[in-house]
């Protein structure tokens, strides 16, 4: 039973389209995250939500809009896709408790914008 699951695993789309990536965790965690890994393999935080409330927004273009319908889900919607959005997007979750802030990552969504 996958702890953090993302769908789809692969996403190929044209520039200008709008797409969504879904993430669900069954670990009972309070906090969820989106990270982006670009072609140079650097992993960078994009957003963090705690109990459906946005707590980190790392200067991501406003074409990216996260939505958390409940604390087990954090979806990422991207409007007007650009070539530079091509990357692997990872969802993660963790408990809030400080010493237990261990993040569990999903398998990633490979987005290719053509």
Partner 1 sequence: DAKTTQPTSMDCAEGRAANLPCNHSTISGNEYVYWYRQIHSQGPQYIIHGLKNNETNEMASLIITEDRKSSTLILPHATLRDTAVYYCIVRVAAYNQGGKLIFGQGTELSVKP
The site for partner 1 (CB under 8 A) is made up of 4, 31, 33, 35, 41-45, 48, 50, 55-56, 58, 90, 92, 94, 96-99, 101-108
CB of 44 to partner 1, least distance (A): 7
CB of 107 to partner 1, least distance (A): 5
CB of 18 to partner 1, least distance (A): 25
Residues 58, 47: Cα–Cα separation, whole Å: 6
């Amino acid at each position: 039973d996958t702890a953090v699951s993302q769908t789809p695993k692969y996403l190929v789309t044209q520039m200008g389209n709008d797409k969504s990536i879904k993430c669900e965790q069954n670990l009972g965690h309070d906090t969820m995250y989106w990270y982006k890994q670009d072609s140079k393999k650097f992993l960078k935080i994009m957003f963090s939500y705690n109990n459906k409330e946005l707590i980190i927004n790392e200067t991501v273009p406003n074409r990216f809009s996260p939505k958390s319908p409940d604390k087990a889900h954090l979806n990422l919607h991207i409007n007007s896709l650009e070539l530079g959005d091509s990357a692997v997007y990872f969802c993660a979750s963790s408990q809030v408790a400080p010493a237990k802030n261990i993040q569990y990552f999903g398998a990633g969504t490979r987005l290719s914008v053509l």
